């Protein structure tokens, strides 16, 4: 079986695959050795891939190296199942690489816009099994924190499901400005992408995607696990 270890900025996602069949997926914010061993104890893991947007904790790599015969650390040096046209491949985030691989696996030969709404919001474009590049924008949490940090009086608030717009108080004004601004941004990206690419696919993923998916006008395909799907694809591709 394959272990997929996706370490993000605010949480980690783990998945176990039997070939291309996904057995289990879970997310955690603070993964200990005991928890990791407990989660993986039912499975015989033969191969693993580690993808991280930050430094991988040493105890994680030590634990996996002891118990798993083949481990692949995803990097710009990995052999990828698509053509990468990014000019600075060494700076391309592992999560973006994995999402592109997932799009190539799930939608071969299709033009795909991948919107990953996490700590940052990334917009990545795939065509003809090639990665054409993408854009990076601040995510919801970053926008809330920026308003608080770079002003004297605006409070730090969290994402709210319900708020008045236009805002009738400061908290609602912030919520309306941030959330509505992100929705407008995503809607416009999708609109312009669909205008120039017939028969395209738009995918929404990332930690904030569940909150945003029903608020977007253009109804993208919601695939919360496209990154782990892509990582499993890359693992199998490199282990051949």
Q: Catalytic residue positions?
A: 95
Helix, strand and coil in the chain, % to nearest 5: 35, 25, 35
The partner residues of 115 in beta bridges, in order of sequence, read 123, 204
- Residue whose C-alpha is closest to residue 114's, from 199, 20, 221: 221
**Separation of alpha carbons 63 and 73, rounded Å:** 14
- Residue whose C-alpha is closest to residue 103's, from 133, 73, 127: 127
**Separation of alpha carbons 24 and 19, rounded Å:** 13
User: Where do we find the tokens 């930050």?
Assistant: 54
**Separation of alpha carbons 174 and 159, rounded Å:** 10
Please, are residues 14 and 4 in contact by the beta-carbon 8 Å criterion?
A: yes
Q: If you ran DSSP here, which 8-state letter would residue 69 be given?
A: S
User: Where do we find the tokens 């717009």?
Assistant: 165
Q: If you ran DSSP here, which 8-state letter would residue 89 be given?
A: G
How is residue 81 written in tokens? 């199942």
């Amino acid at each position: 079986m394959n272990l997929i270890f996706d370490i993000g900025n605010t949480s980690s996602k783990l998945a176990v695959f039997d070939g291309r069949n996904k057995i289990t997926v879970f997310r955690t914010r603070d993964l200990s050795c005991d928890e990791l061993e407990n989660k993986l104890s039912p499975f015989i893991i033969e191969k693993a891939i580690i993808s991280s947007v930050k430094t991988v904790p040493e105890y994680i790599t030590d634990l996996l190296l002891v118990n798993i015969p083949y481990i692949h650390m995803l990097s710009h040096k990995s052999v990828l199942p698509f053509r990468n046209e990014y000019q600075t491949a060494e700076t391309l985030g592992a999560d973006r690489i994995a999402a592109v691989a997932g799009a190539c696996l799930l939608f071969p030969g299709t033009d795909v816009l991948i919107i990953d709404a996490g700590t940052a919001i990334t917009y990545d474009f795939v065509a003809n099994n090639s990665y054409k590049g993408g854009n990076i924008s601040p995510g919801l949490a970053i926008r809330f924190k920026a308003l608080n940090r770079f002003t004297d009086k605006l409070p730090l608030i969290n994402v709210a499901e319900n708020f008045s717009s236009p805002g009738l108080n400061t908290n609602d004004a912030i919520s309306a400005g941030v959330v509505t601004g992100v929705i407008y941004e995503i809607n416009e990206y999708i609109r312009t992408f669909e205008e120039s690419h017939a028969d395209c696919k738009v995918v929404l993923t990332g930690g904030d995607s569940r909150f945003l998916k029903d608020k977007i006008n253009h109804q993208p395909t919601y695939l919360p696990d496209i990154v782990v799907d892509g990582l499993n694809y890359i693992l199998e591709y490199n282990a051949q």
